[in-house]
Chain A
Amino acid sequence: METEPTVNDELQKEGTLNAALATLHRDMLKFARLQLRDDATAEDAVQEALAAALSNQKSFGNRAQLKTWVFGILKNKIVDIIRERIRSPSASHSVEEISEQAYDDLFNENGFWQDDARPSSWGDPETSFSSQQFWQVFEICLTRLPETTARVFMMREMLGFETDEICKELAISSTNCWVVLHRARMGLRLCLSERWFKSESRDVEL
């Protein structure tokens, strides 16, 4: 015997959908904030991405998972916003957030690794990819980089910008741009090494 869906069933379905949408919204916002470092702009980007997704439902089809598809739209929005910033005259960005001497301690006076700073093997680091805790540490380490440094690094490594475009946005020379990227990598490497690969406690607290 077929039963009509009860009001209760409907409510439950609606609750599940709402929860899924809330999670999606939260994840999108987190991602956009990390890239844009500006809450209002991040919220705008997410709203626009969701609106674009709703008005382009046809192009969704069944080709991708919903979240992957919506995140693709969001990434494009973020890239648009950053390109817009490139065109508009912006305040000068500090490229000296991490000083030239910041990592000098790692090397001796001849420029060779100090014994206690020489990079040791991380073993089989790819196994960490399946650990949720690892990704928490990864995000903490990204967040701990100074603002412009982190943004430059993520434009390069997550949004797929070429170095030239990044230099243009920040109105800095390509040498400076590359210096920022290098210091970001040094910082991220040290942070992951200390907080994850060498850490006994694998501390995820900030």
Chain B
Amino acid sequence: MLNCKQAAALMSQGMDKELGMRQKMSLQMHLMMCSGCRNFRAQMEFLRQGCQKFSRKESK
């Protein structure tokens, strides 16, 4: 079973490369049970969105 520290690392890694099937499955299992990590995942996506907006915002 993954702990939160490993799950967070995997979620970050997933932003940069496709995770393996096994990694994806253990992450899914963890996320089902862990609201903290679900929030973390949403925040990682928000960061990416923010960065894209930031570099476009500078272009307005």
Contact = CB atoms under 8 A, between A and B. Distances in A.
Interface of A: 27, 30-31, 65, 67-68, 71-72, 75, 107, 110-113, 118-122, 125-126, 129, 135, 138-139, 154, 156-159, 163, 178, 181-182, 185-186, 188-189, 192-193
Closest 5 CB pairs of A and B: A111-B3, A157-B51, A118-B36, A71-B59, A119-B39
Contact of B16 (A27, A71, A120, A181): A181
Given A71-B59, A163-B16, A189-B47, 12 more contacts: A31-B55, A31-B58, A67-B60, A111-B5, A118-B35, A120-B36, A120-B39, A122-B42, A158-B51, A186-B8, A188-B47, A192-B47
Contacts, number: 92
Contacts of A75: 55
Contacts of B5: 107, 111-112
Contacts of A158: 51-52, 54-55
Nearest to A181: B16
A185 B13 CA distance: 11
User: Interface majority SS on A: helix, strand, loop or mixed?
Assistant: helix
